[in-house]
Chains A and B, each alone.
Chain A
Amino acid sequence: MTESTMKAPKKALRPVKWMRENLFSGWFNTVLTLGVAYMLVTSVGPLLNWFFLDANFVGADASDCTGAGACWLFISQRLNFFIYGFYPDELQWRVDAMFLLLAVSFVPQFIERFPGRKWLGLFGIFGLPVVGYFLIPGGAFGLEEVQSSKWGGLMLTLILAYIGIVASLPIGILLALGRRSEMPIIRGICVVFIEVWRAVPLITVLFMASVMLPLFLPEGVNFEKLARALIGITLWQSAYMAEVIRGGLQAIPRGQYEAADALGLGYWRKMGLVILPQALKMVIPGIVNTFISLFKDTTLVLIIGLFDILGTVQSTVTDPAWQNVAIEGYVFVAFCFWVFCFGISRYSQNLERKLDTGHKT
């Protein structure tokens, strides 16, 4: 029998073949697989028990947490505080309305071919801050005023991250343009500004905003704690934003700049009509990534005494009425952040694939 007439090798069962190739190829992989599988089996069971089977879901207060597992009751009892902070109960519809508008403007961005999703996105960036400016603090149009010291929880986290990103975008664009400028002094100023902010930790920026900003301002001018934190976050974030946008500016081929010059466009028209539209589109994934890291970094405001979602949970887990609910509280916050960040990062990866037109060299 020659080689060409040999029978085809016996076909192994599909899953068996897959397992042999992916789990048990060689002694090293086999040991690894068995080790990891053992770890999984021994840890998943107790975790499941703690999370669901032995956990307490219903009841009124701490005395109803009788099972050995998690006390989710604690979360459901304090949920209002974790979401709205000290915002008055009867006015919470205003915050709910903002949540709804936020969802309406951004959830369609995940759905392709949603009619008018571009306009909803633009509303989300330009219209939403205006609506929020009047709706959340109140004080105008007959709305009752709510001091910013009463804001807290998830709502405050979203406000900080949202304003931080929307306000830092224009500053970041200007800084990036300045850093690419041909004027040495403008370039120098922008480089120093960007590098200094990027080199210091956010926590020192927040400290500076809360203790030094009042010293910088003329007497009589004073900002609330939240506004000071926002100024610090925005300046800090704009330096990172500038670096992301600079990446986009550098990726635009020289021909585009020269073509705009040849058309006789001035600097601002060249940038505004030719360069920036292409550059910004290119760096949308980068902007989304900086947004994710800013979103996680907003938790730091609890150190200067603001009650973001982690701050509200941290202040309640030490409540003696509930015993040892720290893990439940942290798991809840972790879950909230994880859902947001993972969702957004998946969106950004998706976008990256779609925007990649294969022109990268």
Chain B
Amino acid sequence: MKKQTIDTRPAGPKPWYDPRVRSLFFQAIAIALVFWGGWVLVDNTLSNMESRGISTGFGFLNETAGFGIIMNLVPYDATMSYGRTFWVGLTNTLLVSAMGVVAATILGFIIGVARLSSNWLVAKMALVYIEVIRNIPLLLQIFFWYFAVLSNLPSPRQSVDVGGALFLNNRGLYLPEPMTQEGFGIVWGGILLAIAAVVGIRIWAKKRQLATGQIFPTFKVGVAILVLVPIVSYLVAGRPIEWDLPALRGFNFGGGITIIPELAALWIALSLYTASFIAEIVRSGILSVSKGQTEASKALGLPNGLTLRLVVIPQAMRVIIPPLTSQYLNLVKNSSLATAIGYPDLVAVFMGTTLNQTGQAVEVVAITMAVYLTISLLISLFMNIYNRAVAIKER
């Protein structure tokens, strides 16, 4: 008898019930939709620009800008190109962001620790600060500092004068500017030497501690070297710094470094606002370290300072870093509110004045967005690298 084989496997699903076929189908539709949408946008934009007589391309970046900017870190004047205005705006954005990150971090850590203080009054004050500041829009706080506080400062003639070197009025804060003279290279050499020495001592001290268990006071010695060596080299080189003092000339001040009120208002508001968020992050980070860790380190005989430095903070940092990163990103993005008070940041200069004068909306907006995208990605990258360094090493 012939052996009959019966195929008991069920017939494969119909193609339209097969998940693989379906997924390919939907993805094809998605790609088609994206391309179609993109094409419609490009087509509309091109025809609209043609009918309005706007040229396309980045040629406008080489044309003369013809407008002044009240603050520039890179050399700039009105005869320079639109491309140059981009760099002026970008450096101003980076300056206020960097200043804000530093101040907000310091302030945020102080307030976050104060919030956990055993001192009832201090803890409550920190709580009030956090709850008030973070529930008020940042733009309003910037306006408050700029229009209500800084513009009510005295006029240049009635400036607040600190020792004839530092002046404060409603046009800004004037500081003496250090002008390096010939021979300042010796001081730079001294600074580099001090840094190299501290790094060397640190490596040697760690090696010795691992070998013998003896602890070398690296921190105190390091600070002493970092302070003393540059001072000595400064004196040896014959004090090669001259201070350019600000002075009243006519109706305004000249000379020295000027911190314009726009920068000051933006910086103060950004730092205070972001600090209130960082404080909450720091608090939750410290609370996340279980009490057993502190008790264990006490049981090992570590003093309070070392417990904090070697046990609590490293573990708290693991919880703190990821949300801290997003606060830094927020701060950089929020610095674009500068445009509301006229601080010449990237958005105000490039997306504001340059866009209005040239009408190159698509190019300017695309460049500006690309810059913020790049800054965000870079900050995320650096913080991720740092985060990986402090994360739990699982073996």
Q: Which residues of A contact B (CB under 8 A)?
A: 22-23, 25, 29, 32-33, 36-37, 40, 182-186, 189, 196, 198-204, 207-208, 211-212, 214-219, 292, 296-297, 299-300, 302-303, 310, 314, 317, 324, 326-327, 330, 333-334, 337-338, 341-342, 345
User: Which residues in chain B, 312-337, are within 8 Å of chain A measured between CB atoms?
Assistant: 329, 333-334, 336-337
Contact B347 A203 (CB under 8 A): yes
Chain A contacts of B329 at CB under 8 A? 199
Chain B contacts of A183 at CB under 8 A? 23, 26-27, 30
Contact B45 A330 (CB under 8 A): no
- Count residues of chain B with CB under 8 A from any CB of chain A: 52
Contact A330 B143 (CB under 8 A): yes
**In the complex, A300 Cα to B143 Cα: how many Å?**
12
A229 smallest CB distance to B (angstroms):
15
Interface centre among A198, A207, A219, A302 (most CB of B within 10 A): A207
Contact B147 A29 (CB under 8 A): no
A-B contact count (CB 8 A): 144
**In the complex, A303 Cα to B27 Cα: how many Å?**
40
Name 6 A/B residue pairs within 8 A (Cβ), A-sorted: A22-B120, A200-B333, A211-B361, A302-B139, A334-B140, A341-B135
B92 smallest CB distance to A (angstroms):
15
Contact B48 A32 (CB under 8 A): no
**In the complex, A317 Cα to B143 Cα: how many Å?**
11
Contact A219 B51 (CB under 8 A): yes
B244 smallest CB distance to A (angstroms):
35
B262 smallest CB distance to A (angstroms):
15
B346 smallest CB distance to A (angstroms):
9
Chain A contacts of B131 at CB under 8 A? 342
Contact A215 B44 (CB under 8 A): yes
Question: In the complex where A183-B23, A299-B139, A310-B139 touch, is A201 in contact with B333 (Cβ < 8 A)?
Answer: yes
Chain B contacts of A296 at CB under 8 A? 135-138
**In the complex, A232 Cα to B132 Cα: how many Å?**
29
User: Which residues in chain B, 129-160, are within 8 Å of chain A measured between CB atoms?
Assistant: 131-132, 135-140, 143-144, 147-148, 152
Contact B347 A23 (CB under 8 A): no
**In the complex, A219 Cα to B143 Cα: how many Å?**
38
Chain B contacts of A218 at CB under 8 A? 44
With an 8 A cutoff between CB atoms, is B340 at the interface?
A: yes
**In the complex, A49 Cα to B341 Cα: how many Å?**
30
User: Which residues in chain B, 351-385, are within 8 Å of chain A measured between CB atoms?
Assistant: 351, 355, 361-362, 365, 368-369, 372-373, 376-377
Contact B362 A215 (CB under 8 A): yes
Besides the contacts A183-B27, A333-B140, what 14 more A-B pairs have beta carbons closer than 8 Å? A22-B119, A32-B122, A33-B122, A199-B329, A199-B333, A201-B334, A203-B339, A204-B347, A207-B365, A212-B365, A215-B362, A297-B137, A310-B140, A342-B135
- Give the contacting residue for B372; candidates A33, A189, A199, A215; CB below 8 A: A199
A309 smallest CB distance to B (angstroms):
9
Chain B contacts of A300 at CB under 8 A? 139, 337
Question: In the complex where A185-B31, A200-B373, A303-B340 touch, is A207 in contact with B351 (Cβ < 8 A)?
Answer: yes
Of all A-B residue pairs in the complex, the 8 with the closest CB atoms, nearest first, are: A341-B135, A22-B120, A201-B333, A199-B376, A296-B137, A185-B27, A201-B336, A326-B148
**In the complex, A155 Cα to B48 Cα: how many Å?**
34
Contact A326 B147 (CB under 8 A): yes
Chain A contacts of B339 at CB under 8 A? 203, 303
**In the complex, A139 Cα to B255 Cα: how many Å?**
62
Interface centre among A33, A204, A333, A341 (most CB of B within 10 A): A204
Contact B137 A23 (CB under 8 A): no
Contact A199 B373 (CB under 8 A): yes
Contact B119 A201 (CB under 8 A): no
Q: Which residues of B contact A (CB under 8 A)?
A: 23, 26-27, 30-31, 34, 41, 44-45, 47-49, 51, 117-122, 125, 131-132, 135-140, 143-144, 147-148, 152, 329, 333-334, 336-337, 339-340, 347, 351, 355, 361-362, 365, 368-369, 372-373, 376-377
A32 smallest CB distance to B (angstroms):
5
Question: In the complex where A33-B122, A183-B23, A185-B30 touch, is A204 in contact with B365 (Cβ < 8 A)?
Answer: yes
The residue of chain B having its C-beta at the shortest distance from the C-beta of A303 within the complex is: B340
Question: In the complex where A189-B34, A310-B139 touch, is A216 in contact with B369 (Cβ < 8 A)?
Answer: no
Chain A contacts of B368 at CB under 8 A? 204
B76 smallest CB distance to A (angstroms):
22
The residue of chain B having its C-beta at the shortest distance from the C-beta of A21 within the complex is: B118
The residue of chain A having its C-beta at the shortest distance from the C-beta of B131 within the complex is: A342
Question: In the complex where A23-B120, A199-B372, A330-B148 touch, is A337 in contact with B44 (Cβ < 8 A)?
Answer: no
Chain A contacts of B333 at CB under 8 A? 199-202
Chain A contacts of B362 at CB under 8 A? 212, 215
Chain B contacts of A303 at CB under 8 A? 337, 339-340
Contact B118 A22 (CB under 8 A): yes
Contact A338 B132 (CB under 8 A): yes
Chain B contacts of A196 at CB under 8 A? 369, 373
A235 smallest CB distance to B (angstroms):
13
**In the complex, A314 Cα to B51 Cα: how many Å?**
37
Chain B contacts of A297 at CB under 8 A? 137
Question: In the complex where A204-B365, A310-B137 touch, is A186 in contact with B122 (Cβ < 8 A)?
Answer: no
Chain A contacts of B47 at CB under 8 A? 219
Contact B48 A186 (CB under 8 A): no
Question: In the complex where A299-B139, A327-B148, A337-B136 touch, is A216 in contact with B361 (Cβ < 8 A)?
Answer: no
B18 smallest CB distance to A (angstroms):
14
Chain B contacts of A201 at CB under 8 A? 333-334, 336, 347, 372
**In the complex, A144 Cα to B122 Cα: how many Å?**
56
The residue of chain A having its C-beta at the shortest distance from the C-beta of B332 within the complex is: A201
Contact A337 B135 (CB under 8 A): yes
- Give the contacting residue for A204; candidates B135, B136, B351; CB below 8 A: B351
**In the complex, A219 Cα to B50 Cα: how many Å?**
12
**In the complex, A203 Cα to B119 Cα: how many Å?**
41
Contact A314 B45 (CB under 8 A): no
Contact A186 B26 (CB under 8 A): yes
Chain B contacts of A185 at CB under 8 A? 27, 30-31
The residue of chain B having its C-beta at the shortest distance from the C-beta of A25 within the complex is: B118
**In the complex, A40 Cα to B129 Cα: how many Å?**
13
**In the complex, A296 Cα to B30 Cα: how many Å?**
35
**In the complex, A339 Cα to B333 Cα: how many Å?**
26
Contact B49 A215 (CB under 8 A): yes
